[in-house]
Structure 1
């Protein structure tokens, strides 16, 4: 990873790049599951909100917040003990899920440019805020400064990513293309995260007492297990649910007269 994306006073791949690849895979899988849920929501009236909620949890909760938290495990701040503020982390999770759900509801069932833009901006701002809250939850022995310029870049990338995601979820139907779009979404999430990390500058004072909070691994590991198991719910729902698009097409066909 180029120096442009390295936080001052920290090493973002201190524990190897394997954790970053794990976060990328998790984000891509969650996006693919979310796209399938959105497709079912498009052709469902009675269970539309349930499908969109599952999509928001998959995309915002697992594909964004959990993926960023997993990637954060690879970071090491020089000469400092790191702790994690659970309250800020929970707020970041809630904002990610609610923001994605709001974006999906605003964008509607069919592609409409004004609604896609408004939904993308809403979702993008939420994703950007969630990313920075996740990083702000990291407490160290010292202070953390942020570059406003890189914060702005990260938010712009986030809004572009979310607008494109909403468009893809409505327009792209073929499974191979959805897989490709899910991978591109994961790369976009990584771009937002590492740009946000690059905005951080750590000033460490080893004499400062260990900050309050819990070790990040103690939070992320159980959340990773819960998130991975939680994805089985929408995956199972997608597999057992009827194909509503085909059912709707068949319902519109005239009944042959005998």
Structure 2
């Protein structure tokens, strides 16, 4: 979503901008699969070698997703990318992935979650613009018009899916039975209840003793 929003403001003078449908489709599928695999590899406990492998998988997805988006760009001319900026994208993606997975295992307090969210946003934006700095376009007025769709065509379904992906889990967590029970204050027993329970327990104990006389009903 942040990458899409930033690319909506990207423009090249002297040519139309279009995006390849296949590359954008791979962009969406790869971004979901690699993050899911990284979470499965990481597990629920902190094991450093698993964390590093998962971070590498997640960084591969983040970096490739970014490269797919830039590779999907179509103009009336050619688009080139710098090797240095490409390497920088993958390095930032690896650090971002490792920190994100590490945070997901041990951070529980709200201030730390907010700090992690800010750090995540900064690094995702930095990764994106590190890739854009190496982007070089060469407009050729004699070249054929680019084929594809405008980016806003893809942005609308992404926005809807992204909103639902946040709303549905949050709603499920809020209505979960364990959270409702945790929010319900426990009932403190009244003194009369405690006294009645103690008398009942004493009566049952006396009735089980050898030779004890069974109590008779008093009308």
TM-score normalised according to structure 2 size: 0.78
Q: Does 1:71 align with 2:30?
A: no
**Superposed displacement of residue 229, structure 1:** 3.5
Paired positions, count = 182
Please name the residue that 1:85 is paired with.
Answer: 20
Matched with 2:59 is 124
- Give the match for residue 94 of structure 2: 159
Deviation of residue 175 (structure 1)?
A: 1.5
Query: Equivalences for 1:22-37 in 2 at 5 Å?
Result: none
- TM-score by length of structure 1 reads 0.67
CA distance in 1, matches of 2:114, 2:74: 36
Provide, for residues 118-154 of structure 1, a one-character-per-residue CA deviation record: whole Å limited to 9, x for no partner. Answer: 1001101111001110111111111111111110011
1:1-258 matched pairs, under 5 angstroms = 66-242=1-177
After superposition, the CA RMSD in angstroms is 1.8
User: How far 1:212 moved relative to its partner?
Assistant: 0.7
Offset, 1:237: 1.5
Cα separation, partners in 2 of 1:204 and 1:74, compared to 1, 3 Å: same
Consecutive unaligned residues of structure 1, counting only runs of 5 or more, are 1-65, 248-257
Moved over 4 A (4+): none
Give the whole-Å Cα distance in 2 for the aligned partners of 1:231 and 1:174.
20
> Could you give the per-residue CA deviations for residues 212-237 of structure 1, whole angstroms, max 9, x where no partner exists?
10111122134223322342111212
- Mapped to 2, the partners of 1:216 and 1:130 lie a distance apart of 15
Q: Taking structure 1 as reference, are residues 183 and 201 closer, same or farther at Cα in structure 2, changes over 3 Å only?
A: same
**Deviation string, structure 1 residues 178-216 (Cα, Å, up to 9, x no partner):** 012011101111111111111210011122222110111
Structure showing greater Rg? 2
Find the aligned partners of 1:192 and 1:84 in 2 and give their Cα distance.
20
C-alpha distance in 1, partners of 2:7/2:20?
13
> In structure 2, how many angstroms separate the alpha carbons of the residues matched to 1:72 and 1:147?
18
Encode CA deviations 1:62-87: one digit per residue, 9 max, x unaligned: xxxx2211210011112110011121
For residues 8-67 of structure 1, what are the alpha-carbon distances to aligned partners after superposition, in whole Å with 9 as ceiling and x for unaligned?
Answer: xxxxxxxxxxxxxxxxxxxxxxxxxxxxxxxxxxxxxxxxxxxxxxxxxxxxxxxxxx22
Question: Quick one: distance in 2 between partners of 1:182 and 1:224?
Answer: 19
* In 1: Cα distance, 2:124 partner to 2:89 partner: 10
